[in-house]
Amino acid sequence: MSIPQKDPHSIETTVKDEQLLAVTTEDRLPLTTNQGQRVSTDKYSLKAGKRGPTLLEDYILREKIQHFDHERIPERVVHARGAAAHGYFQLTQSLEKYTTAQVLTDTSLKTPVFVRFSTVAGSRGSADTARDVRGFAVKMYTNEGNWDIVGNNIPVFFIQDAIKFPDLIHAVKPEPNNEIPQASSAHDTFYDFISLTPESMHMIMWVMSDRAIPRSFSTMEGFGVHSFRLINAQNESHFVKFHWKPVLGVHSLVWDEAVKIAGQDPDFHRRSMWESIEAGNFFEWELGVQILPEADEEKFDFDVLDATKIWPEDLIPVQRVGKMTLNRNPDNYFSETEQVAFMTTNIVPGIDFSNDPLLQGRNFSYLDTQLSRLGTPNFHELPINRPVCPFSNNQRDAHMRHTINKGRVAYTPASLDGHSPEEERPGSGFNSYGQVVNGPKVRERAESFNDHYGQARLFWNSMAPIEKEHIVKALQFELSKVDTREVRVRMLGHLAQINDVLAAQVALAIGEKMPGSQKTEQPSGTSDVPALLEMLGNAESPTTASGGVLKTSGLSMMEGQPKLAKGRQVAILTAPGVSSMCIETMQKNLAEQGVAGFVVAPFIGDVEGDKGTVEAKKTFANSSSVLFDAVYIPGGTSVQMLKQLPDARKFIDEAFKHGKPIAASGEGVQLVDATMTGVLLKDADAKAQGVILDSAGNAKTVSSAFVEAISSHRFNNRQVDMIQA
């Protein structure tokens, strides 16, 4: 149908024109009701006369309003705020020795996946960068059914038994009397519960570390958390833990960045994933497995079924066996990201559960949750949840049944409609592992679950000094928000069991003194940072319940991470008079390494350079250094204007404070020099601190060293005490 063209700025129109404009939908199909009836317009309700009452017989109005009234489904109790993407998983090393699962044995398969990332405590409207555990849930649409690895970005959990889960969540959620605070663990009820639950101490160390404020979903590790079983063709069982290792390495924000980003861009993580995938910078992880023969179940001085414990990688190495790539954004947030239903019980033949008491409870909870949230036992028929392999059973009816089942047989055994009782073959398909179970019915915890501090010490010992400092500061912040002194003191008692220096440093910030401590003279955050870092670096604790190791690989984010610049974003500070050639050269060289360079100027739009215009999509008003991974200042007369802009100088100060790479060429070096007044940055060690300067103005030379600095992520060797940003 031809639609008359009107001046878009004209207010002159007719009812006839409005009706013509209303007869098609966004996909250009005719506008209809949900039953397919053509609608002339849904701009006006049916009335008795133009100014008369609306008529109840207007079924088009009723359908539209009722659909709107009911279009929200119950928010997830936990993991409410999520973002997701489609992709695929490709096995690179067969695990046929351990399992019959095709997805883990056939390297020729390319298995579709849908992955949802989330925060745990906050509501759907909370910010992405809150200090929190992150959900990392993977749905694999395998040829043998859906397999869900419903994990987190932290490999352990707060509690050992699922019966405590409602109490944990009630404690961490906003307090019921005033619904405060949102998306935060820094309050009385949470630490009251934690201080009375010593098994949580290992998890607290992870959550107070920088793991709880990831830089991006693409630099976030994922873990299956629980111990599962792999079952091979000989019916032999091996315990297994699943890991997702990011190809770009594990990197985080610092707390100052996380707080500022929450205000500037609360959608920081989801926006980054959406824009990166749209730009072709796909997110990638390698699947890793830790495999333990069943005969070695009791080999260690920690229980391998305890969800508050890791399997130290130095004792049980992680084998990397496949790769997952996320390469497509959802078409509809609600239909896919909100309606996707993950369940720990979604496993395939060749994989089975362990006796982990937290896992056993989750197996009940997830199905029950989906029935409540999605309103029907037929949630598996929604497109995002539907298996790619055929599925057929005798379950019928219930709300929103999509499948139209034919015939009269809805039972087994059956002999009607071509069925035969002999078609049932016990032993084929999925079978639970035939573990021998014998024991009295008791409500008790196994003695092997009783050590609550050994692996918390292991985690602390494995951290680099700067990571220990961040844990100290996180606990200082959190416990300073707790009003009840008794709770704060109880927490200090637990911290002292982990490390006396840790406890003493936290005690200083909340006005307490640890009995017998000789190491309380120097609180963190004072000017003598090197002395503090040295003290924290030497603050190791003897540990038990970790196989006898004092520290282990895979825990510190400062060690063993790949150095890649791909996926990073660079701010290019610009004003009129900028060197167009410098920007063009830098953006080109960055793009070749998968790095995006964004022009930031005093205004949006074309900026006049010395040899043509450059387009600014960001301004100093709508962005800051915390939204970028690095900063570049090109040469040109633009520098004179930038020197007069406090926001431009703050941009550089803040990037320097947060350890981010900074590069400048030509006159841009003058801006760095002017901004860094009072900061001892000698030419000899500037490059070692990630500051790349070239007064000659050679952007190509600068870009090479700049990319190398970006791949190092962050430089913690700077003296930042004088930085006021």
Give the separation between CA 177 and CA 249, rounded to whole angstroms: 42
Pseudo-torsion of CA 26, 29, 32, 33, nearest 10°?
-60
The DSSP string of 49-79 is STTSPBPTT-HHHHHHHHHHHT-PPPPPSSS
Q: Are 310 and 359 in contact (CB under 8 A)?
A: no
Is residue 438 among the annotated active site residues?
Answer: no
CATH superfamily for 453-537 is Catalase, four-helical domain (1.20.1370.20)
pLDDT of residue 6: 39
pLDDT of residue 428: 66
Which one from 146, 152, 385, 461 is the annotated catalytic residue?
A: 152
pLDDT of residue 682: 61
State the first-to-last Cα distance of the chain, in angstroms, to the nearest integer. Answer: 59
- For CATH 1.20.1370.20, list the domain ranges present in the chain: 453-537
CA-nearest of 131, 121, 118, 211 to 478 is 131
pLDDT of residue 679: 64
pLDDT of residue 424: 58
- Distant-in-sequence, close-in-space partners of 166: CB < 8 Å, separation ≥ 6: none
Is the omega angle on the peptide bond into residue 465 within 30 degrees of 0, that is, cis?
Answer: no
pLDDT of residue 107: 98
Is residue 251 among the annotated active site residues?
Answer: no
pLDDT of residue 421: 77
Q: Are 377 and 398 in contact (CB under 8 A)?
A: yes
pLDDT of residue 271: 97
Q: What's this model's pTM, rounded to 2 decimal places?
A: 0.91
CA distances from 320 to 3, 249, 506, 560 (A): 58, 14, 38, 15
Provide CATH code, domain 82-183+203-381.
Answer: 2.40.180.10
pLDDT of residue 31: 86
Mean pLDDT by 10 residues, the chain (725 residues): 37 40 67 87 89 90 88 93 98 98 98 98 97 98 96 98 95 96 97 98 98 98 98 96 98 97 97 96 98 95 96 96 98 97 95 94 90 92 94 87 91 87 67 86 91 96 96 98 97 96 95 68 54 78 74 94 95 97 95 96 96 94 96 96 94 95 94 76 78 86 94 89 71
- For CATH 4.10.91.20, list the domain ranges present in the chain: 1-71
214 DSSP assignment: B
Which one from 79, 187, 243, 380 is the annotated catalytic residue?
A: 79
Identify the architecture of domain 1-71 in CATH. Irregular (4.10)
- For CATH 2.40.180.10, list the domain ranges present in the chain: 82-183+203-381
Q: Hey, what CATH class is 569-711 in?
A: alpha beta
